[in-house]
């Protein structure tokens, strides 16, 4: 057994699938015998015979079911028709529809075929009409009317020079159409039921027709009369003529007269001599238990053959059964060589088979078992049960397995390890109802245990020489029988040492038994619904159970106590197995989910949506690296443990990331911005790309460098950068870089090229709103800056032109917080204030008077300190006298004396008049230019006088 490096499994990936590819309808095989064309709902599947896999799948765009199709004799053209009344011409190798046209029929097309030259196509419709199309010139050449009911058979005569078309409809007549005159030239009447197929001899003078009236008719096309009616005593679905060349002596062919092969309800191929109406050979088939139960010698429907096709290129003959199985046999011996299953129906159980787990055995909703070779998908169909097989189990060696069914019997099967052929070696009966569970011994191939709906358990001993016996199956007898439960027994499990067995039932309990005498050892109670599956741990004395209550429980075999409960499924848990050497559980539910659980942590580490319906089958191989699942959706899936692969990939990815990150750091340090940007994009690091762009823009010619760098990027890299810009643009700090990149792309990329970018729509939707927001913010900032600029242009810095010895005092005043500078608002000459009655002159005069008062008060303060000058004193006295004179035109600066200062009461009234005059002057100026005068200008004008007053107080 291969030992994994990691203790736990974390991930499963699909290794291969066996899916339905044929659900009934027409079947055709390519001329070279390599491909099988068949319908499956809305698809035409092309099966590669060599590999058993669907190589191509042609699907209708309108999701309508395909009613008919045909392939040209040269294998170049495939034409399909759907319920939408459209014909489509395909290049099937390239999966490309080359032409679509209306079928003109008023009802769906029921049959189609090409002529031998692959130029003419005929369609028979459910509207009783036949149309002939020229596929080269692409037009309808003939519209043939006269048939009755659905035209379900159309065939061209093999000699194209005759230009004859044969058809049959629901009136059971064969009509011969002359394409030159577009008329029905003859009607062949012989059958009393629907005609199913037409086959021509090599010379084209003889026609053999088959029908569901259990006869075949041989026609002479020269005289248009029947030469022989052959009763075949079965419903014939297909008839083919043996080739003229070849040795068919093993088929009883002794003469060169025409011989034909029939396929019908009996499920076997038979060879008939046309002239004598004698059956010369009958194909041998495996023994079928149903023969004893079906009366009248008629085979049941599941064994009947629905199609029969010749493969001259490979000397094989292909047949299709009613159960949608494809059988490929040797043409010269009719020995079965290959089988493919087109549809499995519901998969009820699946197990690995073979010493190397090279095969799987599947129980579907049928009495037959199917053994698939995983390498070639070749299927071996096993006949042994008469009713649906319900459960399977495989012995430890892998070459022997057991099955149980609704027919109340069990069967033991042996596989030949050399040839892969499986045969039934033993059978046993004795239960009173359907057997729903079976389990095989683990140590040796010594016994089998079965559980039935009759609530009993039976132990069946196997003889030691069983695997070498030949001939008829060995009859088994139950060694011991015990009533185990009150309801149906759903599951049986045998311990690894063969000493114990456990049973789970619909009565919500599981029980532990001794395998020797079926003595009861203990009962496990705790589930709230019926138990579907039981499994012993390969490492510990633990039993796992899954139930319809959606939980999985682990039970101790010593005290029968529930150790752990795993909750996570929302539906019934149908199967449970141990994986990773008993450290993990894998469960499947009726909701189509697979869940992987770690026992130690009670954690569900992986959930896989595996199927679309209930997963009834779940099994792991011996190496513990493959798991197979089978579901009611008809799919069988092989899952591979890819934990080690993913860990190795993750480790390699991390190492690569570290190397690239170091390289990126070096490039940024060396200022190789282009390479750094490309590497950062490949690492999907938007922040690093942003730093690179900021580094480029920091240079003197940053805009040009950025433009060159962006234009050098590949298209996918540009797409990534554009996606990054949407993220950067959401932040005002990075919007300039984002807008610079977008500007480069918009300037150098045409709109058509930008529309080809992947994700461009999402990127633009993310860029537009934030770009508008940034534009509005910048517009507001621009307006504010223009206002500041306007204020700066209309302000003049003024200060006291003090002498050198007073500068130190001014500095001290500044340190004390007093204003040493003052701002004065000057009118803008462009505002035209002179036109408003000389306001400019009055403002200038008021300003001069204000400066004179400031100088006078400064001079008076200097006289008190003994530092004043005589000229300054006289100027100050003149200023005081002029103010006391009450001149309204002078002293516009509103300077109020300090409270309690000397002479304050004498100058109070003139100072109030000056203040009122100044306010009137400001009011007139504001009214003269209301649209341009701002609140800031008024504040500056009114605050000029208080600043001067505070300056005087500080200097005193």
727 neighbors 737 (Cβ within 8 angstroms) = no
Range picked from 51-65, 558-572, 906-920 for highest mean pLDDT: 558-572
E strand map for 65-214? 66-71, 78-82, 86-91, 96-102, 109-114, 120-125, 129-134, 139-145, 153-156, 164-168, 174-178, 183-188, 195-200, 206-211
pLDDT digit string, tens, across residues 518-528: 999 999 999 99
Model confidence at 819, in pLDDT bands (50, 70, 90)? very low
Distance CA 875, CA 372 (A): 125
127 neighbors 145 (Cβ within 8 angstroms) = no
Distance CA 518, CA 535 (A): 18
Model confidence at 689, in pLDDT bands (50, 70, 90)? confident
Window from 172-176, 476-480, 918-922 with minimum mean pLDDT: 918-922
349-to-402, 470, 594, 600 alpha-carbon distances in Å: 12, 27, 16, 29
Distance CA 112, CA 109 (A): 8
Phi (first) and psi of residue 666, to 5 degrees: -65, -40
pLDDT of res. 289: 60
Distance CA 668, CA 661 (A): 11
pLDDT at residue 938 greater than cutoff 60: no
Rounded average pLDDT over 313-329:
93
pLDDT of res. 287: 62
Distance CA 186, CA 630 (A): 54
Contacts of 837 (CB under 8 A, 6+ apart): none
Distance CA 443, CA 202 (A): 62
Distance CA 219, CA 560 (A): 79
Q: List the structure tokens of 106.
A: 């008023």
Q: List the structure tokens of 937.
A: 């200008």
pLDDT of res. 757: 85
Residue bearing the bigger pLDDT, 822 or 428: 428
DSSP H or E segment with residue 203: none
Model confidence at 673, in pLDDT bands (50, 70, 90)? confident
Model confidence at 329, in pLDDT bands (50, 70, 90)? very high
3-class SS of residue 527: coil
Distance CA 397, CA 355 (A): 6
Residue bearing the bigger pLDDT, 790 or 902: 790
E strand map for 369-473? 369-373, 379-382, 389-394, 400-405, 409-415, 422-429, 435-440, 447-452, 456-461
Contacts of 622 (CB under 8 A, 6+ apart): 1, 352, 357, 398
Distance CA 804, CA 890 (A): 30
pLDDT of res. 10: 72
Distance CA 264, CA 299 (A): 10
Rounded average pLDDT over 39-67:
89
Rounded average pLDDT over 694-719:
85
* Helical spans, DSSP H, in 297-412: none
Model confidence at 471, in pLDDT bands (50, 70, 90)? low
Rounded average pLDDT over 291-304:
51
pLDDT at residue 443 greater than cutoff 50: yes
pLDDT digit string, tens, across residues 722-741: 888 888 888 888 888 888 88
325-330 and 336-341: which strand pairing? antiparallel
Question: 174 forms bridges with which residues in the sheet?
Answer: 168, 188
Q: List the structure tokens of 291.
A: 């023969």
Task: Pick the closest to residue 33 from 459, 437, 405, 331 (CA basis).
Answer: 331
Share of the chain above pLDDT 90, in %: 52
Q: What is the dihedral of CA 769, 773, 778, 783, to 10 degrees?
A: 130
Contacts of 524 (CB under 8 A, 6+ apart): 502, 509, 510, 511, 512, 543, 545, 553, 555, 560, 562
- Taking all residues of the chain, what is their mean pLDDT, rounded to a whole number? 82
Q: List the structure tokens of 417.
A: 């390890």
pLDDT digit string, tens, across residues 767-791: 888 888 888 988 999 999 998 888 8
Rounded average pLDDT over 480-484:
93
631 neighbors 19 (Cβ within 8 angstroms) = no
Range picked from 193-207, 280-294, 687-701, 703-717 for highest mean pLDDT: 193-207
Window from 417-426, 460-469, 709-718, 877-886 with minimum mean pLDDT: 877-886
DSSP H or E segment with residue 824: strand 821-825
Share of the chain above pLDDT 70, in %: 80
pLDDT digit string, tens, across residues 394-403: 999 889 999 9
Distance CA 239, CA 114 (A): 19
3-class SS of residue 677: helix
pLDDT digit string, tens, across residues 364-395: 989 999 999 998 889 999 998 999 999 999 99
* Burial class of residue 946, CB neighbours in 10 A (0-12, 13-18, 19+): middle
Contacts of 661 (CB under 8 A, 6+ apart): 683
pLDDT at residue 556 greater than cutoff 60: yes
Distance CA 529, CA 839 (A): 103
Q: List the structure tokens of 854.
A: 């400031």
Residue bearing the bigger pLDDT, 839 or 228: 228
pLDDT digit string, tens, across residues 597-652: 999 999 999 999 989 999 999 999 998 889 999 999 999 999 998 888 878 888 88
Rounded average pLDDT over 422-430:
92
pLDDT at residue 593 greater than cutoff 90: yes
């Amino acid at each position: 057994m291969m030992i994994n490096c990691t203790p736990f499994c974390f991930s499963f990936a699909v290794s291969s699938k066996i899916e339905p590819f044929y659900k009934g309808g027409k079947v055709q095989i390519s001329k070279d015998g390599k491909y099988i064309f068949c319908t499956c709902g809305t698809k035409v599947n092309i099966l590669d015979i060599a590999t058993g896999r669907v190589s191509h799948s042609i699907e209708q765009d309108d999701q309508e079911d395909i009613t008919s199709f045909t392939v040209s004799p040269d294998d170049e053209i495939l034409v399909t028709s759907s319920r939408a009344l459209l014909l489509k011409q395909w290049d099937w190798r390239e999966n490309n529809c080359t032409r679509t046209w209306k079928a003109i029929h008023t009802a769906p097309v029921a049959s189609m075929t090409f002529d031998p030259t692959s130029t003419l196509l005929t369609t028979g419709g459910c509207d009783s009409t036949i149309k002939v199309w020229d596929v080269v010139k692409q037009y309808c050449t003939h519209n043939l009317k006269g048939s009755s009911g659905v035209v379900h058979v159309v065939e061209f005569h093999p000699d194209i020079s005759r230009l004859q078309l044969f058809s049959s409809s629901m009136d059971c007549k064969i009509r011969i159409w002359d394409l030159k005159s577009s008329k029905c030239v003859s009607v062949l009447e012989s059958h009393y039921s629907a005609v199913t197929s037409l086959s021509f001899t090599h010379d084209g003078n003889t026609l053999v027709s088959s029908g569901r009236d259990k006869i075949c008719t041989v026609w002479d096309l020269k005289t248009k009369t029947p030469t022989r009616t052959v009763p075949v005593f079965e419903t014939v679905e297909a008839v083919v003529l043996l080739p003229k060349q070849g040795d068919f002596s093993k088929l009883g062919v002794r003469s060169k007269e025409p011989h034909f092969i029939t396929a019908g309800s009996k499920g076997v191929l038979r060879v008939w001599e046309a002239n004598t109406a004698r059956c010369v050979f009958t194909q041998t088939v495996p023994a079928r238990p149903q023969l004893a139960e079906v009366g009248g010698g008629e085979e049941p429907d599941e064994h009947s053959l629905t199609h029969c096709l010749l493969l001259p290129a490979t000397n094989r003959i292909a047949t299709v059964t009613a159960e949608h199985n494809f059988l490929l046999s040797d043409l010269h011996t009719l020995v079965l060589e290959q089988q493919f299953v087109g549809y499995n129906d519901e998969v009820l159980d699946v197990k690995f088979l073979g010493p190397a787990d090279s095969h799987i055995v599947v129980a579907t909703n049928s009495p037959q078992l199917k053994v698939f070779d995983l390498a070639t998908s070749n299927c071996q169909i096993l006949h042994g049960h008469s009713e649906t097989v319900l459960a399977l189990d495989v012995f430890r060696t892998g070459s022997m397995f057991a099955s149980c069914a609704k027919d109340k019997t069990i069967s033991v099967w042996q596989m030949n390890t050399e040839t892969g052929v499986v045969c039934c070696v033993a059978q046993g009966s004795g239960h009173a109802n359907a057997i729903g569970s079976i389990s095989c011994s683990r140590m040796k191939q010594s016994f089998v245990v079965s559980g039935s709906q009759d609530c009993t358990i039976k132990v069946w001993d196997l003889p030691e020489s069983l695997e070498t016996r030949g001939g008829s199956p060995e009859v088994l007898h139950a060694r011991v029988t015990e009533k185990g439960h009150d309801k149906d027994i759903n599951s049986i499990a045998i311990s690894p040492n063969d000493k114990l067995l456990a049973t789970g039932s619909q009565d919500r309990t599981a029980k532990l038994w001794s395998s020797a005498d079926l003595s009861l050892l203990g009962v496990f109670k705790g589930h709230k619904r019926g138990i579907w599956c039981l499994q012993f741990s390969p490492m510990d004395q633990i039993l796992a159970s899954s139930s319809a209550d959606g939980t999985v429980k682990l039970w101790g075999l010593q005290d029968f106590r529930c150790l752990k409960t795993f909750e996570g499924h929302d539906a019934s848990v149908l199967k449970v197995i141990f994986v990773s050497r008993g450290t993990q559980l894998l469960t499947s539910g009726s909701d189509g989910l697979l869940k992987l659980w770690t026992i130690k942590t009670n954690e569900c580490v992986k959930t896989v949506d595996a199927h679309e319906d209930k997963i009834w089958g779940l099994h792991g191989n011996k190496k513990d690296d493959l798991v197979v699942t089978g579901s009611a959706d008809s799919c069988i899936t092989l899952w591979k443990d890819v934990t080690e692969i993913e860990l190795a990939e993750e480790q390699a990815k991390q190492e690569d990331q570290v190397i690239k990150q170091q390289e990126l750091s070096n490039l940024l340090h060396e200022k190789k911005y282009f390479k750094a940007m490309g590497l950062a994009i490949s690492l999907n690091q938007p922040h690093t790309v942003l730093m690179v762009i900021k580094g480029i823009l920091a240079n003197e010619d940053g805009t040009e460098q950025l433009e060159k760098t962006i234009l050098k990027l590949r298209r996918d890299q540009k797409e990534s950068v554009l996606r990054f810009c949407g993220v950067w643009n959401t932040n005002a700090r990075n919007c300039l870089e984002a807008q610079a990149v977008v500007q480069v792309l918009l300037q150098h990329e045409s709109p058509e090229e930008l529309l080809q970018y992947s994700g461009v729509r999402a990127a633009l939707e993310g860029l537009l709103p934030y770009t508008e927001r940034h534009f509005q913010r910048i517009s507001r900032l621009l307006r504010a800056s223009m206002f500041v600029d306007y204020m700066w242009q209309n302000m003049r810095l003024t200060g006291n032109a003090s002498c050198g010895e007073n500068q130190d005092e001014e500095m001290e005043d500044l340190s004390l917080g007093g204003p040493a500078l003052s701002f004065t608002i000057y009118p803008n000459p462009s505002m035209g204030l002179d036109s408003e009655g000389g306001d400019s002159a009055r403002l200038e005069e008021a300003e001069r008077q204000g400066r004179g008062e400031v100088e006078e008060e400064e001079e008076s303060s200097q006289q008190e300190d003994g530092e004043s000058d005589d000229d300054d004193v006289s100027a100050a006295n003149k200023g005081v006298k002029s103010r006391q004179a009450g001149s309204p035109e002078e002293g516009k600066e509103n300077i109020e004396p300090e409270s309690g200062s000397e002479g304050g009461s004498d100058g109070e009234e003139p100072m109030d008049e000056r203040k009122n005059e100044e306010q009137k002057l400001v009011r007139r100026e504001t009214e003269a230019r209301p649209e341009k005068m701002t609140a800031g200008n008024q504040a500056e004008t009114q605050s000029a006088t208080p600043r001067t007053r505070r300056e005087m107080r500080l200097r005193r």
